Amino acid sequence: MDILKQITNPYLPSWEYIPDGEPYVFGDRVYVYGSHDRFNGDVYCMGDYVCWSADVKDLGTWRYEGVIYKKSDDPENEDLQGNLYAPDVVVGPDGRYYLYYVLSNRDFVSVAVCDEPAGKYEFYGYVCHEDGTRLGQGPSDEPQFDPGVLMEGDETYLYTGFCPIGDKSRHGAMCTVLGPDMLTVKRKSVFVVPATHNSIGGQFEGHAFFEAPSIRKKDGTYIFIYSSQVCRELCYATSSRPDGDFTYRGVLVDNGDIGISSYKRADMPGYYCANNHGSIVEIEGQWYIFYHRHTNGTNYSRQGCFEKLEEREDGFFKQAMITSCGSSPFTKKGYYPAYLACNLFTDVEELYVPWSGWMDDRFPKITQEGRDGDEVDGYVCNMRDGAKAGFKFFSCSDLKVVSVRTKGYARGKLEVRTRWDGGCLGSFPIEYANVWHDTKGSVDIPDGINSLYFTFSGEGYLQFGGFTTA
């Protein structure tokens, strides 16, 4: 069975690492622009910009559009020391597509342009004040970072900012208006959401701006999406105008499900967290939040995910739960690779990715074999006694788990539940295996919409490749 014919998280193949996703509908396709991590990467965003797209009616089948912009295409990056950080794209008044980005070792915004959404972008210029000084390098400028863009008439609203906790020289998310050439500052920067140190006592306290500004418009309301001071969550604020008076509205998604209490305590992490970056998009009348998760036990191998958004009674969005299915529960029977796990934890609660160059060996992680770019399925490795991998959701009707794929120096059993803390429905015996091995059995799953949780009980460290339903 081709599991990718269903919508999954991550939505791209498990060997592709595209964080910081900015989704847009152009024509009848959804295009996602993001930075580009590597498997076993040393730092953030080591790759060139690539693009993936999907038909608006089939979000389970994504097409690789190829490399759209290289690190070497920026004339300031001849030594390739600058990585391509999170970009954004906007359609200009001339109908062309403009790509805004900041190099990792620069503090100003670069722009590239293309005649089509996913063609070869060409360097266009730098965002500058009227006197030619680059925005970010003027005497009163703050450094530029993570550009988000919105076109209104012939003006471009550029949102930027990076505000580490403790750095009082940074004051919040900035909005700068550019003229019709897409480069020249028309109105100077204003702050639209405060940083941590200047949010005390205000509506943004506890969820102040950290990084990752993004902007969307819904029914005449401007929605500002950003990563907050706690790093792992994407929050949002709304306004009737694009350049100020934003009201804090809540959390859209948290990559550890902090704040979600339907299957655990609200403060219990359901996955190992780190930074977050993404945005929202309306597709066929439904709004979605795109975000990323962390794999390989570090911050530097991030993968894109998305969830369906639901509206609250006041018309704004509820916090989305992280899932394996992204939109609708899985309905097909067959093989499900373990990298689809949306919950991963042990009896020892750990909120953030526990690493110091490499993940603490007490904890499981999603990883892959081979090298970066090898098209092989990921899996869950290092499942010690008590480790849990959870998959949400399945539409169960006469469903059984009939085999599990494992290897590694482990002996014990792999237990199946519909809740991580629920009763065991059955288990599969685990023995030492040097290569991937399918252990057959039969565990009945109750009818209805259910999660599947697999808990390793035993000794050693188990590698979990996936499971088969029938």
Active-site residue set? 20, 211
- Alpha-carbon distance of 309 to 65, in angstroms, equals 27
In contact, 57 and 105? CB cutoff 8 Å: no
Residues 6+ apart with CB under 8 A from 52: 12, 16, 18, 31, 32, 62, 63, 64, 65
What tokens does 282 get? 């309306």
> Contact, 24 vs 89, CB < 8 A?
yes
State the amino acid at position 311 in one-letter form. Answer: E
Strand-pairing partners, residue 22, are 33
Q: Using CB atoms within 10 A of its CB, is residue 340 exposed (0-12), middle (13-18) or buried (19+)?
A: buried
For residue 321, give the 3-state DSSP assignment: coil
Residue 160's DSSP bridge partners are 174
Residue type, 283: I
Phi, psi of 199 (to 5 degrees): -105, -5
| Beta partners for residue 33, in sequence order | 22, 51
354, two tokens: 């526990």
What does the alpha-carbon distance between residue 69 and residue 366 come to, in Å, rounded to a whole number?
A: 28
Residue the block writes with tokens 């902090």: 258
Query: Could you give the CA distance from residue 420 to residue 401 in angstroms, rounded to a whole number?
Result: 16
Using CA atoms, how far apart are residues 48 and 21, in angstroms rounded to an integer? 14
- DSSP letters along 43-75, please? SS--SPEEEEEEETT-TT-EEEEEEEE-GGGSG
d(CA 341, CA 291): 16
Q: Which amino acid is at 421?
A: D
For 230, the token pair is 């706690």
d(CA 363, CA 355): 10
